[in-house]
Amino acid sequence: MSWRRPLPAARGQVRQRGQMNKAEALYAQHLKTLEHAGEVAWFAYEAIKLRLANNTFYSPDFLVMRPDGQLEVHEVKGAKGDGYYAEEDAKIKAKVAASIYPFMFKIVWHVKGRGWQSECLSGAALNPAPSAV
């Protein structure tokens, strides 16, 4: 019998594929609301795996289809102040994927009192001001 307490889970803990964290589950509920309102035609969690280079892949959180058929990739991040927090390698992978693939790429995060915010990573708009989703 050990007298030691178990160590707390590390931040950024790796989960099994298909298992959402709290922010992703909250965003899935938001997407369901948008789907019922007709603003989103379809969405899926971890639906695609994009190849960025040899032995380098990116699995975005959500693939979202707009009513006009346009596909978007949404990556959910935790809020930090009015912005979001992401590890540097995650930011780089998302930006590289946005430069390679013909989807609209968005980083989304939830700010208390302001709702879901987003930043577009696609095309020439690599660093626009955050906007409401």
Q: Mind listing the pLDDT tens digit for each residue in 90-118?
A: 999 999 999 999 999 999 999 999 999 99
Return the CATH number of 22-132, one of 3.90.79.10, 3.40.1350.10, 3.40.250.10, 3.10.110.10: 3.40.1350.10
Residue 58 burial class via C-beta count within 10 angstroms: exposed 0-12, middle 13-18, buried 19 and up = buried
Which one-letter DSSP state was computed for residue 95? H
What pTM, to 2 d.p., does this model score?
Answer: 0.79
Kindly give the pairing relationship between strand 83-85 and strand 62-65.
unpaired
Specify whether the CB–CB gap between 73 and 104 falls below 8 A: yes
What are the tokens at 107? 């980083």
Q: What is the DSSP letter of 9?
A: P
**pLDDT tens-place string over residues 8-42:** 555 556 656 679 999 999 999 999 999 999 999 99
For Cα atoms 112, 116, 117, give the angle at the middle one, nearest 5 degrees. 105
Domain locations along the chain: 22-132
Q: What is the residue whose two structure tokens read 């577009």?
A: 120
pLDDT score recorded for residue 122: 74
pLDDT score, position 125: 41
